[in-house]
Structure 1
Amino acid sequence: MLKSTLALLIAGCVFGSTGSHAGTAEQSFIDQYHMDAQIHQIPGDQMLSDQRLSDMFRAQSRRMTICRGDFIPDGYVITGTTVNFDCGSWQHSDNAYILTVAPKSGALFNTCAGHHSRVYDGFVIIANIYNPACNFGSGNSVNGSTQVYADKYRPSFTVCANSPIPANYTRSRHHFSSSCRVGIGMANNAYVITRQ
């Protein structure tokens, strides 16, 4: 899904100046979102409207804001939280997510932690951090993570114990990493993974 959605975004850039192609690519982008939502069995009230998807497509947005609880389009990750008065209920706390297109260049990028965050196959978490852009938890608690796209970065990684491991990597040594704040104390909290 990630590849197809990003491909549609790129197609929109290429065909943006020609009317018929733009309409087709835009509709395909909207259809893909609905298909993704159906696969994930997302309720209708958690989906972005076609108008919002259309605006997003036309802007070719690498960054967008959605209400907390909305279905996150494939290809996007949560990189921050904010207050959005259009998102209904809020009580002086962040009620919206700031989304960014996940880079696949091998660059490191910070995401917000929590069950709504997303780690795609091929990405690994190499650090659990405090991220001031993410309003989860209180004080300086760990509320974010640093991710990287494994395949295009290096053949071997130290990843945090809460990171998914890509299909073409094998897990070896289990050890302690000061970058990974998983669990309590000085227990083993990281793995070394190696590309097959």
Structure 2
Amino acid sequence: MERQRLQINTKYTDREVNSTYPHFLRSSERKNLFLVGSSTLKKMSPRKMSTEQINTKVKTVRGGRIRDIEDCLIQYISEGKLDCVDVIVVHVGTNNVSDGDSVHAIIDDYRNLICTVRQSLPRTELVISSILPRPTHYEANGTIYDVNNRLLSLEEQHVEILDNTLDFLYGDQPNLTLFADHVHTNVAGAKV
């Protein structure tokens, strides 16, 4: 039984399954957008996010922290998979907050990710999506609030910050109707 499990795991690793993903083609009619982040993106539909002007691919790294997303981007950049990408949108950070990282450490990780993309893909637009509030973890929301406020100061580094905070609040509390659980959005939240 153990040998079978090893064979299965070595045959179907995440690296092999995703070795051809994402695949973007250069187009003068459509922009290529790559959305990458933690499992908070699992309800995102690349098909629904694509239009006549935008071709969208989504990569979810379950349990992903900021450095995991940076490592994913480094791998894809080194393999030339992002050469034709016009816009990279990164949505990550909630796992850093869950793991108890400090605001300073989280912002440093974002700075490193931004530096990596800016150095490797200087013509690619980079967007950092703010961390969504946590419906059931109000202590974490203080850290999230501080991180999101500090993210706005990073816009000077040729990165756009997409502040989703108000879209996911009802008054001053997380809008529970947009979440499937304490972290992940439901379909309505994904639409927002």
TM range (shorter): under 0.3
Indicate the structure whose relative CO is greater, using CA pairs within 8 Å and at least 6 residues apart.
Answer: 2
Structure with higher helix content: 2
TM-score, normalising length from structure 1? Answer: 0.26
Q: Which has the larger radius of gyration?
A: 1
Structure with higher strand content: 1
